[in-house]
Amino acid sequence: MPRSGPIGILLIAFFFAVATLILIAVGVALMFPGGAFERVWMLYPARRALLMPYRMFLGPGFLALAVVFAAASTGCFLRRRWGWGLAVAIFAANGLGDALQLATGHFLEGGIGVVAAAAILYYLTRAFVRHAFLPRR
Protein backbone atom coordinates (compact mmCIF):
# COMPACT_ATOMS: atom_id res chain seq x y z
CA MET A 1 0.00 0.00 0.00
CA PRO A 2 1.52 3.36 -0.97
CA ARG A 3 2.13 5.95 1.68
CA SER A 4 0.49 9.32 1.37
CA GLY A 5 2.83 11.89 -0.04
CA PRO A 6 3.23 14.59 -2.63
CA ILE A 7 0.32 14.76 -5.07
CA GLY A 8 2.79 15.22 -7.93
CA ILE A 9 3.89 11.60 -7.57
CA LEU A 10 0.31 10.46 -8.05
CA LEU A 11 -0.03 12.70 -11.12
CA ILE A 12 3.16 11.27 -12.62
CA ALA A 13 1.92 7.72 -11.94
CA PHE A 14 -1.37 8.55 -13.71
CA PHE A 15 0.56 10.10 -16.59
CA PHE A 16 2.54 6.87 -17.02
CA ALA A 17 -0.69 4.82 -16.86
CA VAL A 18 -2.36 6.91 -19.59
CA ALA A 19 0.83 6.85 -21.69
CA THR A 20 0.85 3.05 -21.35
CA LEU A 21 -2.66 2.84 -22.80
CA ILE A 22 -1.75 5.15 -25.68
CA LEU A 23 1.42 3.17 -26.42
CA ILE A 24 -0.58 -0.06 -26.50
CA ALA A 25 -3.17 1.48 -28.82
CA VAL A 26 -0.53 2.84 -31.19
CA GLY A 27 1.43 -0.41 -31.15
CA VAL A 28 -1.65 -2.48 -31.97
CA ALA A 29 -2.83 0.04 -34.59
CA LEU A 30 0.55 -0.21 -36.30
CA MET A 31 0.63 -4.00 -36.22
CA PHE A 32 -2.99 -4.42 -37.34
CA PRO A 33 -3.94 -1.43 -39.53
CA GLY A 34 -7.61 -0.89 -40.25
CA GLY A 35 -8.72 -2.44 -36.96
CA ALA A 36 -10.53 -1.02 -33.97
CA PHE A 37 -7.40 0.73 -32.69
CA GLU A 38 -7.22 2.86 -35.83
CA ARG A 39 -9.05 5.59 -33.89
CA VAL A 40 -5.88 6.36 -31.98
CA TRP A 41 -4.65 8.34 -35.00
CA MET A 42 -7.34 10.95 -34.32
CA LEU A 43 -4.98 12.26 -31.61
CA TYR A 44 -2.25 13.06 -34.14
CA PRO A 45 -3.33 12.17 -37.73
CA ALA A 46 -0.03 13.12 -39.41
CA ARG A 47 1.84 10.50 -37.38
CA ARG A 48 0.01 7.61 -39.06
CA ALA A 49 1.55 8.29 -42.46
CA LEU A 50 4.94 8.87 -40.86
CA LEU A 51 4.99 5.67 -38.79
CA MET A 52 3.08 3.19 -40.95
CA PRO A 53 5.96 2.38 -43.35
CA TYR A 54 7.98 1.16 -40.34
CA ARG A 55 5.11 -0.60 -38.62
CA MET A 56 6.71 -4.05 -38.49
CA PHE A 57 9.33 -2.94 -35.98
CA LEU A 58 7.67 0.15 -34.52
CA GLY A 59 4.54 -1.76 -33.46
CA PRO A 60 6.43 -4.19 -31.21
CA GLY A 61 8.67 -1.31 -30.12
CA PHE A 62 5.69 0.69 -28.89
CA LEU A 63 4.39 -2.38 -27.06
CA ALA A 64 7.78 -2.92 -25.41
CA LEU A 65 7.82 0.73 -24.38
CA ALA A 66 4.33 0.26 -22.93
CA VAL A 67 5.77 -2.40 -20.60
CA VAL A 68 8.39 0.09 -19.37
CA PHE A 69 5.77 2.79 -18.82
CA ALA A 70 3.47 0.33 -17.02
CA ALA A 71 6.37 -0.58 -14.73
CA ALA A 72 7.07 3.12 -14.08
CA SER A 73 3.41 3.72 -13.28
CA THR A 74 3.34 0.78 -10.88
CA GLY A 75 6.59 1.84 -9.25
CA CYS A 76 5.32 5.38 -8.74
CA PHE A 77 1.91 4.29 -7.43
CA LEU A 78 3.62 1.96 -4.94
CA ARG A 79 6.31 4.57 -4.13
CA ARG A 80 9.15 2.13 -4.77
CA ARG A 81 12.67 3.49 -5.10
CA TRP A 82 13.09 1.67 -8.45
CA GLY A 83 9.93 3.44 -9.67
CA TRP A 84 11.53 6.77 -8.86
CA GLY A 85 14.68 5.79 -10.77
CA LEU A 86 12.68 4.61 -13.75
CA ALA A 87 10.65 7.85 -13.79
CA VAL A 88 13.83 9.92 -13.70
CA ALA A 89 15.36 7.86 -16.52
CA ILE A 90 12.23 8.17 -18.68
CA PHE A 91 11.98 11.95 -18.28
CA ALA A 92 15.74 12.39 -18.81
CA ALA A 93 15.56 10.38 -22.05
CA ASN A 94 12.49 12.35 -23.09
CA GLY A 95 14.30 15.62 -22.41
CA LEU A 96 17.25 14.50 -24.53
CA GLY A 97 14.86 13.58 -27.35
CA ASP A 98 13.26 17.00 -27.12
CA ALA A 99 16.70 18.63 -27.20
CA LEU A 100 17.30 16.77 -30.47
CA GLN A 101 14.02 18.23 -31.73
CA LEU A 102 15.46 21.68 -31.00
CA ALA A 103 18.65 20.80 -32.86
CA THR A 104 16.63 19.79 -35.94
CA GLY A 105 14.72 23.06 -36.01
CA HIS A 106 11.48 22.02 -34.29
CA PHE A 107 11.70 24.86 -31.81
CA LEU A 108 8.16 24.89 -30.45
CA GLU A 109 7.80 21.12 -29.89
CA GLY A 110 11.37 20.74 -28.68
CA GLY A 111 11.30 23.82 -26.48
CA ILE A 112 8.07 22.89 -24.73
CA GLY A 113 9.33 19.34 -24.27
CA VAL A 114 12.68 20.38 -22.82
CA VAL A 115 11.04 22.80 -20.38
CA ALA A 116 8.43 20.23 -19.30
CA ALA A 117 11.00 17.45 -18.85
CA ALA A 118 13.31 19.77 -16.92
CA ALA A 119 10.49 20.88 -14.63
CA ILE A 120 9.44 17.28 -13.91
CA LEU A 121 13.05 16.21 -13.32
CA TYR A 122 13.53 19.16 -10.98
CA TYR A 123 10.43 18.07 -9.05
CA LEU A 124 11.45 14.41 -8.93
CA THR A 125 14.91 15.24 -7.61
CA ARG A 126 13.69 17.31 -4.65
CA ALA A 127 14.47 15.65 -1.31
CA PHE A 128 10.84 15.55 -0.15
CA VAL A 129 9.86 13.68 -3.34
CA ARG A 130 12.79 11.25 -3.26
CA HIS A 131 12.10 10.47 0.39
CA ALA A 132 8.44 9.71 -0.35
CA PHE A 133 9.55 6.56 -2.18
CA LEU A 134 10.10 3.38 -0.17
CA PRO A 135 13.60 1.89 -0.10
CA ARG A 136 14.39 -1.13 -2.29
CA ARG A 137 13.26 -4.55 -1.15
**pLDDT of 50-97, one tens digit each?**
999 999 999 999 999 999 999 999 999 999 999 999 999 999 999 999
The rounded distance, in Å, linking the Cα atoms of 85 and 2 is: 17
- Give helix 107-124 / helix 7-31 axis angle, nearest 10°: 140
Task: Tell me the β-bridge partners of 134.
Answer: 80
One-letter amino acid identity for 131? H
Contacts of 21 (CB under 8 A, 6+ apart): none
Q: Largest alpha-carbon pair distance within the chain?
A: 48
Contact 16, 8 (CB under 8 A): no
Which pTM does this prediction carry? Answer: 0.90
CA Rg value for the chain: 16
Arithmetic mean of pLDDT over the chain: 93
